[in-house]
Structure 1
Amino acid sequence: MKIKATLERIPGGMMVVPLLIAAILNTFAPDLLRIGNFTQALFVDGASALIALFLLCTGAQINVKSFGVSIGKGATLLATKWAVGAAFGLIAYMFAGENGLWLGLAPIAIIAAMTNSNGGLFVALVGQYGSKEDRAAYSLLALNDGPFLTMVALSIFGAMGFVDGMFSLQSFIAVLLPILVGMVLGNLDEEMRSFLDSGSSMLIPFFAFALGMGIDFSAIVDGGLSGIILGLLTVFVTGTAGYLVFKAFKWNPIVGAAEGSTAGNAVATPAAIAAASAGFAQYAELATVQVAASTVTTAILLPLYIAFLVKRLERKGYEFKEGNLTKVNG
C-alpha cells in the first residue's frame, strides 16, 4: 500500500491530508484521541513540541552567513501581512454602518484575523515548498502572534491609545531559540547537520495532524457567512499580496502566499482589546466568533489555494526542487 506516494501526488498532501483527517475527528469525535498519556501527547497536544523540533532541524540546515536572508524575508512578510490587514480594517471603519459593522464584520475582527497568521500552517506549507532560509523566516513572523499588531493598527487609526504589555520579548525569544540551537549545531558539525536534515520533512504530517486536532468545523457555523467572508479575504487578499510581493523580489512566491491564514490564538484578540478599552466590548463577542470562523476557513482553504498556485507555476514551466523554485523550460 503506497501511502507516501499517494500523499505526494496530492499538492501539499503531507500536510493537508493529516490536518483534514484530524479536523474531522476533532469535530465529530473530539474525545477519541484525548485518552491521556502518549496517545494524547503525540496526536493532540504535540503540535508545539513537534514544530519546535522541526524548527531546530531546519535551523541546522542554515549556513550562518545566509541567516540575514531569512530575516529579510520574514520582515517583508510581516510588513505585508500587517499593512494589508490594517488597510482593510481602516476601510471597515470608514464605511461601517450605524451598527459599527462593515459587510456584517466587526472591524476589530478584520484586523485581528488578517494581521495574525497561523505559524504552524506556514511552517507546514513552507516545509514542503520552501527552502531552509524560507523556513527560518518564521522566527520573525512570531511577532504577529497575539493582539500586539492589532493594537498598533488601532492606535495608528486613532481609535484607541497604545496599550503596554501586549508584546512579550520573552515569547519572541522562545520561538527563535530552537532555530538558533539548530544553527549552532549545524554550523559546528556537518555530520550533525546531515543527521538532523531528515527531520525537516519527516515531522510535517505529525504536527499537521496535531494542528488539525485544534480545528472544529462548527466554528464556521457559529461565525456565519460573515466569518467565512473574513476567511476568504484573509486567504485571497493577504495570501495574494504576499505572493506578489515575493514575486517582485524574485523570491519563491509560494512562501509569500503561505502567510494567508488566521492563527488560532487570534480568537482571543477581540477579548484582549475589549479588556484594554471598554469601547470595544460591545463587539468583542461577535468579533470572537468571526475570527474563529476565519481560523477554520483559512486552515482548510489556504492549502488548496497554495496547491492551485503551485500547479499554475508548474504549468508555466517551474518546478520545486529542494525547496527552490526554478524554471525548467521556456
Structure 2
Amino acid sequence: MKIKATLDRIPGGMMVVPLLLGATINTFLPGLLRIGNFTQALFVDSAGALIALFLLCAGAQISLTNVGSAAAKGATLLAVKWLVGAAVGLLAYVLAGTDGLFLGMVPLAIIAAMTNSNGGLYVAIVGQYGKADDKAAYSLLALNDGPFLTMVALTIFGAMGFVNGLFSIVSFVSVLLPIVVGIVLGNLDPDLRNWFARGSDMLIPFFAFALGMGIDFGAIIAGGLAGIAIGVMTTLFTGTVGYLVFRAIGWNPIVGSAEGSTAGNAVATPMAIAAANPVFQSVAQLATVQVAASTVTTAILLPLYVSFLVSRTDARRIETARDDEALDAAEAGTQAR
C-alpha cells in the first residue's frame, strides 16, 4: 500500500489526516485508546512531549546568524494576530445589541478566540511548509496563550483595568527552553544539527494524531452557530491577514497563515477574565462554549484553508524557503567536514 505517497498528495496530509482521524476516534470512541501504558502514552498523551522534541530538533537547525529573523517573524505573527482579533472584538462591542451580543457572538469570546493560537497546529503546518527560523518563531507566540492579550485588549477598550498575576513569564520560558537547548546543541556540533534534522519531520503525524485526540466534534454543537462563526472568522481573518503581511514582507506567506487558529487553553480565558472582573460574569459561560466551538472549528478548518492557500500560492516561493533551509544544512555539513 502506498500510504505515504497518498498522504503526500494531500496538501498537509501528514498533519491533516492523522489529526482528523484522532478527532473522529475521540468523538465517537473516546475510550478506545485510553487504556493506559504505552498505547495511551503514545496515541493520547504524547502531544506536549512530541511537540517539545520537535521544537528542540527545530532549534538545532537554527544558526546563530538567523536568530534575529526568527524573532522578527514571531513578533510579526504575534502582532498581526492580536491586532486583527482586537479590531474585530472592538467592532463587536460597538455593534452589540442591548443583550451585549453581536449576531449571537459574545465580544469577549471573539477576542479570546482570535488573539489566541494553537501552537501545535502552527508547528505542524510550519514543519511541512516552513524552514528553521519559522519553527523557532513559535517561542514568541507563547505570549498569546491564556488571558494576557485578551486583557490587554479589554484594558485598551476601557472595559477593565489590568490585573496582575494572570500571565506568568515561566510559561513563556517553558516554551522557549527546548528551542534554546536545540540551538546550543546544533551550534556546538554540526553533526548533531544534521542528526536532529532527520527526526523532526517524522514527529509531525504522531503529535497531530495526539492533538486530534483532544478534539471533540461535540463542542461545535454546544457552541452553536455563533461559536462556529467565531472559528471561521479566526481562520479567515487572522490567517489571511498573516498570509498577506508575510507575502508583502517577502517571507513565506503560508507561515503567516499558520496562526489562524484558537488553542484549547483559550477556553479558560472567559472564566479567568470574569474572575478578575465580575462585569463579565453574565457572559462568561456562553463565551466559554463559543471559544470551545472555535477551537474545534479552527482545528478542522485551518489545515484545509492552508491546503487551499498552498494550491493558490506560487509554488516557487514555498520551494525557495525549503531550498534555503536545505542549503543551510548542506553548508553546516560542509563546515563539519
TM-score class, shorter-chain normalisation, is: over 0.9
Match of residue 249 from structure 2: 249
Match of residue 264 from structure 1: 264
Match of residue 207 from structure 1: 207
Counterparts of 1:48-63 in structure 2, within 5 Å, are 48-63=48-63
Deviates more, 1:137-146 or 1:194-203: 194-203
Paired amino acid for 1:202: M
Q: Is the 8 A contact 2:252 2:317 kept in 1?
A: no
Q: TM-score, normalised by structure 1?
A: 0.96
Deviations 1:209-262 (A, max 9, x none): 000000000000011111111011000001001001111110001001000000
Match of residue 329 from structure 2: none
Q: Secondary structure at the match of 2:215?
A: coil
State how far apart, in whole Å, the 2-side matches of 1:23 and 1:169 are: 32
1:313, CA displacement in angstroms? Answer: 1.2
1:322, CA displacement in angstroms? Answer: 6.1
State how far apart, in whole Å, the 1-side matches of 2:63 and 2:292 are: 38
Q: Is the 8 A contact 1:145 1:266 kept in 2?
A: yes
Within the alignment, does 1:155 sit opposite 2:158 as a pair? no
Counterparts of 1:52-91 in structure 2, within 5 Å, are 52-91=52-91
Q: Secondary structure at the match of 2:52?
A: helix
- The 1:74/1:283 distance shift into structure 2, 3 A limit, reads same
Q: CA RMSD in A?
A: 1.3
Q: TM-score, normalised by structure 2?
A: 0.94
State how far apart, in whole Å, the 1-side matches of 2:95 and 2:252 are: 36
Q: Is the 8 A contact 2:252 2:321 kept in 1?
A: no
Q: Is the 8 A contact 2:252 2:318 kept in 1?
A: no
Within the alignment, does 1:44 sit opposite 2:44 as a pair? yes
Q: Is the 8 A contact 1:115 1:144 kept in 2?
A: yes
1:166, CA displacement in angstroms? Answer: 1.4
Within the alignment, does 1:7 sit opposite 2:7 as a pair? yes
1:2, CA displacement in angstroms? Answer: 1.2
Q: Is the 8 A contact 1:142 1:175 kept in 2?
A: yes
Match of residue 323 from structure 1: 322
Deviations 1:58-106 (A, max 9, x none): 0001101101100000000000000000011111111100000001100
1:318, CA displacement in angstroms? Answer: 4.6
- The 1:212/1:228 distance shift into structure 2, 3 A limit, reads same
Q: Secondary structure at the match of 2:313?
A: helix
State how far apart, in whole Å, the 2-side matches of 1:250 and 1:47 are: 32
State how far apart, in whole Å, the 2-side matches of 1:211 and 1:14 are: 13
Counterparts of 1:1-330 in structure 2, within 5 Å, are 1-314=1-314, 318-320=317-319, 323=322
State how far apart, in whole Å, the 1-side matches of 2:40 and 2:134 are: 31
1:199, CA displacement in angstroms? Answer: 1.6
- The 1:321/1:206 distance shift into structure 2, 3 A limit, reads farther
Paired amino acid for 2:319: F
1:323, CA displacement in angstroms? Answer: 2.8
- The 1:325/1:285 distance shift into structure 2, 3 A limit, reads farther
State how far apart, in whole Å, the 1-side matches of 2:312 and 2:179 are: 32
Paired amino acid for 2:268: A
- The 1:165/1:24 distance shift into structure 2, 3 A limit, reads same
State how far apart, in whole Å, the 2-side matches of 1:324 and 1:247 are: 18
Paired amino acid for 2:108: I
Paired amino acid for 2:72: G
Q: Is the 8 A contact 1:318 1:325 kept in 2?
A: no
- The 1:325/1:243 distance shift into structure 2, 3 A limit, reads farther
**Percent of residue pairs identical:** 71
Q: Secondary structure at the match of 2:92?
A: helix
Q: Is the 8 A contact 1:128 1:323 kept in 2?
A: no
Paired amino acid for 1:93: Y
Deviations 1:289-309 (A, max 9, x none): 100000000000000100001
1:320, CA displacement in angstroms? Answer: 2.5
Paired amino acid for 2:58: T
Unaligned runs of 5+ in 1: none
1:281, CA displacement in angstroms? Answer: 0.5
State how far apart, in whole Å, the 1-side matches of 2:56 and 2:30 are: 30
1:319, CA displacement in angstroms? Answer: 4.6
State how far apart, in whole Å, the 2-side matches of 1:249 and 1:321 are: 15
Paired amino acid for 1:191: D
State how far apart, in whole Å, the 2-side matches of 1:182 and 1:279 are: 45
Q: Secondary structure at the match of 1:64?
A: coil
Q: Is the 8 A contact 2:129 2:318 kept in 1?
A: no
Unaligned runs of 5+ in 2: 326-337
